[in-house]
Structure 1
């Protein structure tokens, strides 16, 4: 009837966010319980498939060795990521200033991206010191997403705003600072989020290649070493640390992106509600 008043709908945003957090945790717990149950019921040997409890015990007992290797891998990842971020953003700015330079160098960036890093790593280990070669591999993998996303953002400026800046005779530096860089910032941060995980992948691949050559101290080297010695619980523990490191890297970069964009960009404003 027309005189009836609609009842207020209770807010469900808090409940929805709780389910989003609890549901993956519940799935993980069920999966780990089934894994442990299958290993125990079938009496599967640890060198074939260790259970989650044995992996957790190995993570505790071998923590000193694994943590030291984790720090080496994280340092390599950080060096590769920072160099890729600086190099990719700087080159994209140069491309935006000179179309001739973009047409001359961008195809080589594409070639570098599509060439498998596992094929480049052994060559780099021949011509460069080990640590430098590992960092270069992390740089190669992470460089292109930063370059392409930054270039896309700089070229996606609204034409009406660009015309307004020309009308007021803004200098190229003013246009870059007050128009192009703010417009490109979401693309840059998106490229950095991708590059963070890829730099870890590049470091892992290079460490595995270095380990096959008889040298290395990173976490990926520990995985390869454990495989050679059939120490499968340590291999799973090292793999768990690598996965956790990748999650922390992505979450940290996503948090930085949200904090930078939350007050003005649509992609972050929607998450506040």
Structure 2
């Protein structure tokens, strides 16, 4: 760079393309990867992919022409509800932050699908300075009832929040998360059952540090209507895809202060069985490039 003239310097700077980091947290293979490959196709240079799987999973079956080939990062075992889940998320964020062109960061599971094409998702995320991380005050036993008084005074019950672990955040917030030691230590020591770190650490941290730039909503559609500790699983969908269109346009929310019915860019939990139908309607319904 020291040997660049002004023309070369300006040309290089003008070609900077901000990227979205897609971070997959999965125990093993990604059964819906063919759909994601179709989603990413043709948009190289606008995204990065990072995969955190169990250390015992080799990933040797991933085709070389897949967007997921060679994208695994060094990992550790993850156990639901424990700080190991947060460690994995921070590991993914730290890996993605090493690339300065990554400006938005999406945490994804192995059962999540995109419900719009890449261009819409990219523009939606790049078009706002807000992060999308669910963070809310739940006065019930499954909310404030999980607060441990030993967290006081570093974390107060008034600051305590609950939310989904699956997020989409701005780079500034990603830096705050990976650099946090103060609140991490408190949660690591005092958030024990019935407290679940993946439900409370990030929602509380964001509420304390950067609540003014968080939308307090998720952009992943999940169906909790059946009750219980886990959401509905989609093992079959009809080719008339009413479900997909309901997810895509069936809600109302705020985006940059304006009301919109595009609130969800992703959906879960989808089992591998609907993959054939999803691939079939990817272009006609989801708008993927043919």
TM-score normalised per structure 1: 0.26
TM-score normalised per structure 2: 0.25
Which protein is bigger by CA-based radius of gyration?
Answer: 1
Give 1 or 2: higher helix fraction: 1
Give 1 or 2: higher strand fraction: 2
